[in-house]
Amino acid sequence: MFDVCLITFSPTGSSLRVAQAIANGVGEKIQTIDLTAPRLHIRVCQSSLAIIAMPVYAGRVPAVAVERLREISSRGAKAVTVVVYGNRAYEDALLELNDEAADLGFEIVASAAVVAQHSVVGSLATGRPDADDLDSLRVFGQTVKTGIDAGEIHSVVVPGNRPYRDPMTVSVTPLVGDACTGCRLCVTQCPTQAISMLDPKYTDLSKCLMCMRCVSVCPARARSLPDAMQKAMAEKLSPFASVRRENEFF
Ligand SMILES: Cc1cc2nc3c(=O)[nH]c(=O)nc-3n(C[C@H](O)[C@H](O)[C@H](O)COP(=O)(O)O)c2cc1C
Ligand code: SF4
Ligand code: SF4
């Protein structure tokens, strides 16, 4: 039996770091379920408390993460739900995650919306979660544990609207430059198998989430979004670069 089961979808690692920081405040034995890996077998949460964390994409949680979450057997575990966002907004994402987790039979005992460096436009929330964030996440985990131990569990209300916002449509994939060595790390790391094993310069747009994992793992720094898209996003998001948003705990 594990103390905590981390269930994460974290293409560029921030949601995982956030979940681990919360788990540090809760318990010692940690089971991990990585939703970026394709489904291999039925996944069972073997703990009495799950920490479910995933990023916000256009104010929603990623559809593929939700699909894979639905494959998990909750065994009626308690859950802390967490959305991680890049300093713009999380809109309906936390409400959507809570609806899904509740449908799966998890008993939601606490939720959080946490800020992390934007995985597309790194000038937003650069360096976050920082030391203060990690400390407050650990304290949040401790508070959750104390509440559970004391039998003090309240219903959790989070912001958001139903119906949820329209999901994001992906119109471009990362492109590959001449520096590509053909190592195929991007192929094996892509959460949706969108990159061709035969030719890693080919990415299937219909499968791509624009999650940025391939860009971040490429050892040759050969992958990047098309310049026009990168510039358009940087411009659109520039008003959020100078704001420091605080994490919210529910
Ligand atoms: C396709 C895409 C859409 C995003 N949409 C939003 C958004 O709506 N609001 C926001 O604040 N951040 C947004 N972000 C930033 C991510 O939510 C943020 O960087 C998060 O930390 C990524 O999590 P990860 O490191 O676990 O992959 C988006 C990132 C990507 C790649
Ligand atoms: S990870 Fe980079 S270098 Fe390796 S195959 Fe992919 S694009 Fe090429
Ligand atoms: S190809 Fe698309 S889905 Fe796959 S890792 Fe790259 S950005 Fe993510």
Atom of ligand 2 nearest to the CA of 179: 3
- What does DSSP say about strands 107-115 and 248-249: parallel, antiparallel, or unpaired? antiparallel
The residue whose C-alpha atom lies closest to atom 4 belonging to ligand 2 is: 183
Q: Which of 210, 217, 229 to mutate to test ligand 3, by most ligand atoms within 8 A of the CB atom?
A: 210
Q: Is the pLDDT of residue 43 over 90?
A: no
CATH class of 175-233: alpha beta
Q: How many CB atoms lie within 10 A of CB 27?
A: 15
pLDDT (average), residues 28-50: 82
Structure tokens at 147: 């509440």
Q: Which of 173, 175, 176, 178 to mutate to test ligand 2, by most ligand atoms within 8 A of the CB atom?
A: 176
Atom of ligand 1 nearest to the CA of 125: 19
CA 223/CA 236 separation, integer angstroms: 22
Atom of ligand 2 nearest to the CA of 195: 6
Global pTM exceeds 0.95: yes
Q: Is the pLDDT of residue 30 over 90?
A: no
Measuring from each residue's beta carbon to the nearest atom of ligand 1, which residues come in under 6 Å?
10-15, 55-59, 84-89, 116, 118-120, 168, 210-212
**Confidence label for 29 from pLDDT (cuts 50, 70 and 90):** confident
CA 188/CA 170 separation, integer angstroms: 21
Which tops the pLDDT comparison, 129 or 44? 129
CA 13/CA 55 separation, integer angstroms: 10
**Confidence label for 41 from pLDDT (cuts 50, 70 and 90):** low
pLDDT in tens, 216-248: 999 999 999 999 999 999 999 999 999 999 999
For residue 212, the CA-to-ligand 3 centroid distance in Å is 6
Q: Is 220 in the pocket of ligand 2 (CB under 6 A)?
A: yes
CA 234/CA 63 separation, integer angstroms: 24
Q: Is the pLDDT of residue 1 over 60?
A: no
For residue 173, the CA-to-ligand 3 centroid distance in Å is 7
Average predicted confidence (pLDDT) for the chain:
94
Atom of ligand 1 nearest to the CA of 11: 27
Scan for tokens 């003090």, then name that residue: 152
pLDDT in tens, 101-145: 999 999 999 999 999 999 999 999 999 999 999 999 999 999 999
For residue 167, the CA-to-ligand 3 centroid distance in Å is 17
pLDDT in tens, 152-206: 888 999 999 999 999 999 999 999 999 999 999 999 999 999 999 999 999 999 9
Question: Which sequence spans correspond to the domains of the chain?
Answer: 2-163, 175-233
pLDDT given at position 2 = 64
pLDDT given at position 27 = 83
CA distances to 55, 155, 200 from 211, in Å: 9, 32, 16
Kindly indicate whether the domain formed by 2-163 is annotated with CATH number 3.40.50.360: yes
